[in-house]
Amino acid sequence: MENLNQEKPRRDSNKIYFLIAVIVALLGTNAYLFFKDKKANDRIVTLSDEKSSLETEIDKIEAELDNANNSNVKLTADMQQEQELARQKIAELRSQLKSGKLTQGQLSKAQEDIKQLRYFVTKYTADIDELKKQNATLTVERDSLKTTVASVSERASTLEKQNEELNVKVKAAAALKTGNVSVVPLRVKNSGKETDVTRASTAQKIRISFNVVNNSVAEKGLHDIYIRVIDPDGNLILTPNSSNFMADDEEMQFSYKTAIEFANDDKPYSIDWTNPNKFVKGTYTVILYADGYTMGRGTLALR
């Protein structure tokens, strides 16, 4: 009886130890699961925070890229291509982050890609600033060149004007001028002999005699002489060969055209002109032109 009583407390003690072991095991399992869930939750929170941080960084990078492009600087072909690649990478990262299925490794890769984007945007912005400086320098040089060109153009215009004025003066100085003009009415007899007359009824032609003022600037050689004969009524006498010419900056008609050989030797000249009409009483005016200017004039009075 005594042995049976000793065996019973021993069995109860074993049960207690077993229950304690079961409880400890359960507590350990629960603790393991608790810490595991907590670690998983912490990891989810960490991944979520990293994702949010990456999205914010992408927003900043894209904003800086947009700001750089608003500088009104013409980009090089390489810079345009680099920008397109950067925007493609930004779109890819946004798509990956938006899916929400990134692993830690993919997040690490995204972080590395963003670092590369950050480096690109920093370099890209620096390149834009350099282009701005170059453009500013080119603008200053262009404005300076414009000023220089304007100054040169103004100077050239002034010189051209002075040259034109000088040419006009030289042309005027080189034009032949008469010292005096003598106009004599003539009658031609049947024998061919010419005699001076004073009456309009007997005059058939006039002889215009003159000499040319000494002129070392005038060109030696043939010079066209244009003659205008004005009748007593103030009308220009025209002939079938009459045409237009320019003199004293005016277009006009001539009565007769001929040429003289000029040698600057005080040689006297005579030009005969036959009136296609009958002479009338009154005063005739004879005007000579050469080299675009009035050369001289004379008058003739007929009774």
Indicate the domain borders of the chain. Answer: 2-134, 178-302
Query: Order of strands, edge to edge, in the sheet holding 268-274?
Result: 194-196, 178-188, 205-212, 268-274
Give the residue among 55, 53, 56, 71 at the shortest CA–CA distance from 124: 71
Give the residue among 260, 258, 189 at the shortest CA–CA distance from 222: 260
List for the chain the helix, strand, coil content (%; round to 5): 55, 25, 20
At residue 9, the pLDDT reads 57
Distance of CA 82 to the CA centre of its chain: 32
- Measured in degrees and rounded to the nearest 5, phi and psi for residue 69 equal -75, -15
Q: What DSSP string runs through 186-212?
A: EEE-TTS-EEE---TTT--EEEEEEEE
At residue 40, the pLDDT reads 41
- First-to-last alpha carbon distance for the chain, in angstroms, is 199
At residue 39, the pLDDT reads 47
Q: Parallel, antiparallel, or unpaired for β 282-290 and 293-302? A: antiparallel
Give the residue among 201, 199, 205 at the shortest CA–CA distance from 237: 205
Written as one letter, the residue type at 97 is L
Collapsed DSSP state (helix, strand, coil) of residue 160? helix
Q: How far apart are CA 117 and CA 135, in angstroms?
A: 26
Collapsed DSSP state (helix, strand, coil) of residue 264? coil
Contact status, residue 99 vs residue 110, Cβ threshold 8 Å: no
Distance of CA 77 to the CA centre of its chain: 24
- The DSSP letter of residue 302 is E
At residue 159, the pLDDT reads 80
Domain covering 178-302, topology = Immunoglobulin-like (2.60.40)
Would you write out the chain's pLDDT as a tens digit for each of its 303 residues? Answer: 455 455 555 556 666 666 666 666 666 665 555 455 444 444 443 456 677 777 787 788 778 777 777 766 666 777 777 778 777 877 877 777 777 656 667 667 777 777 777 777 777 778 777 877 888 888 888 888 888 888 888 888 888 888 777 777 778 888 899 988 999 999 988 888 889 999 999 999 999 999 999 998 889 999 999 999 999 999 999 988 888 999 999 999 999 999 999 999 888 999 999 999 899 999 999 999 999 999 999 999 999
Distance of CA 121 to the CA centre of its chain: 35
